[in-house]
Amino acid sequence: MAFDFSLSPAVEDQRQRIADFVAREVIPREQTVFRDGLTDTLRRELQGLAKAAGVFAPQAPREWGGGGYRFDEAAVFLEEAGYSLLGPLALNCAAPDEGNIHLIHLTGTPDQQERWLRPLVAGEVRSCFSMTEPPPGAGSDPSALRTRARRTAGGWVLNGEKWLITGADGAAFSIVMALNEGDDAPAGATMFLVDAQNPGFVVGEHLNTIDATGIGGHCRVTLRDCFVPDADVLGEPGRGFQSAQVRLAPARLTHCMRWLGAARRAHDIALERAVERELFGSKLADLGMAQALIAENEIDLDAARSVIWHASWAIAEGSRSSEESSRAKVFASEAVCRVVDRSVQLAGGMGTSEELVLGRIYRDIRSFRIYDGATEVHKMSIARRAAKRAAERIAAREVKE
């Protein structure tokens, strides 16, 4: 048995290059984005700089223009990218594009990969993933899917409503989940690659959410007799839920990686402020209650990194890793929120401001406990698996007796 948490020289070198790039090119642009909003022009500018610096798309397959690093190595790089809220966008490892790159790479046909994957990896286009629906439709429970797909000559017709679709405004295409209907279609759900120019794919209003650093909003999307040719079915018809797992387990972890970087940034800001600020005749960092907050942050950051690295290693080694990713998602999402909350408290009044960045991180990170499966849903899944294992142990003992 061997436990090795050391980084290879190549990974450490790339990690440092990403850290330097984020500090030099990305962080200085934050306040402008917080004030004026994020534009596609800035995205392209940052991604051009990332390409020139040799840090672009480290997690994407090499044959399609990415860095080609293993998934557990990507955990190191995406944490470093997440040190700025703009870092993942600059490196083209932000949601939802990062998850769509992974999914199309593993399930797309060669023609689909050439048409959709190559420009996505290159940053020439953006994409979105259309699964979430207004109640009572799909959310944390994908089986509640209400968008329907019906076979027709040469393809499928999709009808339904989606919402909270991240990045939909300005995306070049969407991966759409729909439930098959009709006797001539296999039971289950199917994934479709839908061109945003399709007249049946209608992007509506931006929903006004608490997080605000993404690009393309969180939008309503309507599918109105949206025709999709057979060539644009992603994976096998009727196996959409199985294909979704190809995307969802790794995507949960890449969210964890990026937000761990943001939480570490929040902690560093608050810690430096605590070291410099004097209160009641001593440095803030010397006061017992402040020391408790600092220590708890250090513990949460280290523990979150460990559980993320373990789950990422399992995926890199070929495991489906559903349970590991659920555990990591629950712990990391709760831990990073605690870290940022304590950091705001340590920093005092300025901790609530965007000038100190903490206020923006606090706003943006809260949603992480909900998307990609709410904490409570993952806990239910983890508990069911644990109970099943206990029942199997009991049954095995009874057989022996």
- Model confidence, pTM: 0.95
In a domain, 3, yes or no: no
Q: How confident is the model at residue 86 (pLDDT cuts 50, 70, 90)?
A: very high
Domain of residue 368 covers 242-395
In whole angstroms, give the CA distance from residue 335 to residue 260: 9
> CA-CA distances (angstroms) from residue 92 to 78, 134, 152, 229, 235?
10, 29, 36, 29, 24
CATH of the domain at 144: 2.40.110.10
The arithmetic mean of pLDDT across residues 101-108, rounded, is 97
- pLDDT for 208: 93
In a domain, 191, yes or no: yes
CATH of the domain at 307: 1.20.140.10
Tokens of 104: 């199309």
Sign of CA dihedral 233, 234, 236, 240: negative
In whole angstroms, give the CA distance from residue 197 to residue 192: 14
The arithmetic mean of pLDDT across residues 290-295, rounded, is 98
In a domain, 401, yes or no: no
Q: How confident is the model at residue 78 (pLDDT cuts 50, 70, 90)?
A: very high
Give the orientation angle of helix 358-365 with respect to helix 240-276, to 10 degrees.
150
- Is 61 in the same domain as 193? no
- pLDDT for 1: 58
Inter-residue contact 76 to 124 (CB < 8 Å): no
Percent of the chain whose predicted confidence (pLDDT) is above 90 = 90
In a domain, 400, yes or no: no
Is the pLDDT score of 298 beyond 80?
Answer: yes
Q: Is 134 helix (H, G, I), strand (E, B) or coil?
A: coil
The arithmetic mean of pLDDT across residues 390-395, rounded, is 95
- pLDDT for 26: 98
Inter-residue contact 19 to 76 (CB < 8 Å): no
* pLDDT tens column, 35-57: 999 999 999 999 999 999 999 99
- Is 233 in the same domain as 246? no
Lowest pLDDT segment from 94-103, 313-322, 368-377 = 313-322
Inter-residue contact 201 to 168 (CB < 8 Å): no
Inter-residue contact 328 to 252 (CB < 8 Å): yes
Report how many domains make up the chain: 3
- Is 235 in the same domain as 246? no
Query: Mean pLDDT for the chain?
Result: 95
In a domain, 131, yes or no: yes
DSSP at 23: I
φ, ψ of residue 91 in degrees (nearest 5): -90, 0
- pLDDT for 213: 87
- Is 250 in the same domain as 232? no
Lowest pLDDT segment from 102-106, 298-302, 396-400 = 396-400
- Is 219 in the same domain as 254? no
What burial class does residue 153 get, using C-beta atoms within 10 Å of its C-beta: 0-12 exposed, 13-18 middle, 19+ buried? exposed
Q: Which residues contact 344 (CB under 8 A, 6 or more apart)?
A: 266, 270, 351, 352, 358, 359, 362
> CA-CA distances (angstroms) from residue 237 to 101, 125, 141, 181, 242?
20, 26, 20, 11, 11
- Is 165 in the same domain as 224? yes
In a domain, 187, yes or no: yes
In a domain, 99, yes or no: yes
In a domain, 4, yes or no: no
Is the pLDDT score of 14 beyond 90?
Answer: yes
Percent of the chain whose predicted confidence (pLDDT) is above 70 = 100
- pLDDT for 140: 82
CATH of the domain at 88: 1.10.540.10
- pLDDT for 293: 98
Q: How confident is the model at residue 4 (pLDDT cuts 50, 70, 90)?
A: confident
- Is 320 in the same domain as 384? yes
- Is 181 in the same domain as 315? no
* pLDDT tens column, 309-338: 999 999 999 887 789 999 999 999 999 999
Domain C-terminal end among 224, 239, 254:
239
Give the orientation angle of helix 322-347 with respect to helix 358-365, to 10 degrees.
150
- Is 287 in the same domain as 225? no
User: Which residue is listed with tokens 């990969």?
Assistant: 113
- Is 374 in the same domain as 332? yes
Is the pLDDT score of 398 beyond 90?
Answer: no
Tokens of 376: 């409570």
- Is 113 in the same domain as 196? no
- Is 228 in the same domain as 257? no
In whole angstroms, give the CA distance from residue 55 to residue 51: 6
> CA-CA distances (angstroms) from residue 1 to 4, 295, 323?
10, 31, 22
